Amino acid sequence: MTNVLDILEERGYIEQMTHEQEMKELFAKECVPFYIGFDPTADSLHVGHFVSMMVASQMQKAGHKPIILVGGGTATIGDPSGKTDMRRMMSREEINHNVECFKVQLSKFLSFEGANAAIIVNNADWLLDLNFVDFMREIGSLFSVNKMLAAECYKQRMETGLTFFELGYMLMQSYDFLHLHDTYGCKMQMGGNDQWSNILGGVDLIRRIGHSDSYGLTFKLLTTKEGKKMGKTEKGALWLDASKTSPYEFYQYWRNIADADVRTVLCLLTFLPMDEVNRLSSLQDEQINEAKKVAAFEITKLIHGEEEARKAQEAAEALFGGSGNLDNMPTTTIEKMEMPILDVLISAGLAPSKGQARILIGQGGITLNDTKVEDTNYILSSKDFKDGYAILRKGKKVFHKILVK
């Protein structure tokens, strides 16, 4: 059996781990049940979850058993990690709906059949019926508040006020690990680097109770070379649901990444062999665009399927090459032809506000049908819709088709 830790290390996933030597020996000799948690605070996963999904898939391909924990119980509190404000509490109905949406997206990465079939569990099934006094006596007594407050996730919230409600999050996530350990033989919790404190809490809880087979590993967050989180657009998050972020927009995001980020994206978000990753990421100057095309196609194929990835690729080539089918371009339909350019830019998601739209035009960043827009008060008319549509371009690479009802 391939030691998956070597694969994860080679591709650059691993940030921190506990008991490294023990883990390597364990993964070399047996199928290890592990879990990764997802917080169901929206009805779609987004790019921030992508690395977790890839790690789970890499683990399963190497023969290990994924347990996908959907935090239906902990979502009623909200994880304070990386947050400066308390999250809105969600209803059970909202959470259940989001859980069902997640299952569809996760099935593209994981197999739910076979000897090491993935399973999906919802911590609402055991957390919501806990007896508070019993829980605090049996679990709460094993945690040091002093140690918890030293964790980075709580330090940030101490500035603005940390509720006891949120303080309980670490206990609940740690209890999740214990429950999965006792119920499914789960030996490892994995998560993003911002989860390190919570993961250590679970590993320590299981070991304090008397078991030695609990381990934790965090992987790198998906960031640019400058350290900024990837996956943000003018419209907000880059969602994995096609109704929230179209396959074309998704493809274009990866097609337009910085040269310095190509290797990171190829390593973390594709299954391309490392020889091919090394070849593509070594390309220089104009040739690096070929690597970006490969990355965009492979990533879009994983999320939306090969047909949608091909359509997005064809639409992009049609725009940049001046030929081909424009049907797959992001499209906005406006109510009437005579509409101010500022309103059209906002409707198309090319600018978040009129102020930003004015700045884009002032900087020469908006083109309408190959003509640079210079007048912020410009109003579209019939001459802009010669072929039944108008094409807006922001910068050099972001295109949008405008139709009229």
Q: Which of 83, 244, 310, 358 does the annotation list as catalytic?
A: 83
**Catalytic-residue membership of 16:** no
**Catalytic-residue membership of 233:** yes
Of 150, 158, 194, give the one whose Cα is nearest residue 84. 158
State the DSSP H helix or E strand holding residue 69, giving kind and residue range, or none if neither. Answer: strand 65-70
Q: Which of 24, 179, 220, 232 does the annotation list as catalytic?
A: 232
Of 88, 48, 50, 97, give the one whose Cα is nearest residue 70. 97
Q: Which of 41, 224, 332, 367 does the annotation list as catalytic?
A: 41
Q: Which of 49, 64, 181, 187 does the annotation list as catalytic?
A: 49
The span from the CA of 102 to the CA of 398, in Å, is 29
Of 15, 48, 86, give the one whose Cα is nearest residue 231. 48
**Catalytic-residue membership of 331:** no
Task: State the pairing for strand pair 232-233/236-237.
Answer: antiparallel
**Catalytic-residue membership of 157:** no
**Catalytic-residue membership of 87:** yes
Q: Which of 16, 156, 224, 233 does the annotation list as catalytic?
A: 233
Amino acid at 154: Y
Place of tokens 């989001």: 98
188 SS3 class: strand
**Catalytic-residue membership of 371:** no
Q: Which of 97, 137, 211, 229 does the annotation list as catalytic?
A: 229
Q: Which of 18, 58, 76, 173 does the annotation list as catalytic?
A: 173
Q: Which of 11, 19, 46, 157 does the annotation list as catalytic?
A: 46
Identify the bridge partners of residue 121 per DSSP, sorted by sequence position.
69
Q: Which of 24, 156, 179, 194 does the annotation list as catalytic?
A: 194
* Rg of the chain in Å (alpha carbons): 24
CB hemisphere CA count around 219 (13 angstroms) = 28
Q: Mind telling me the catalytic residues? A: 41, 46, 49, 83, 87, 173, 194, 229, 232-233
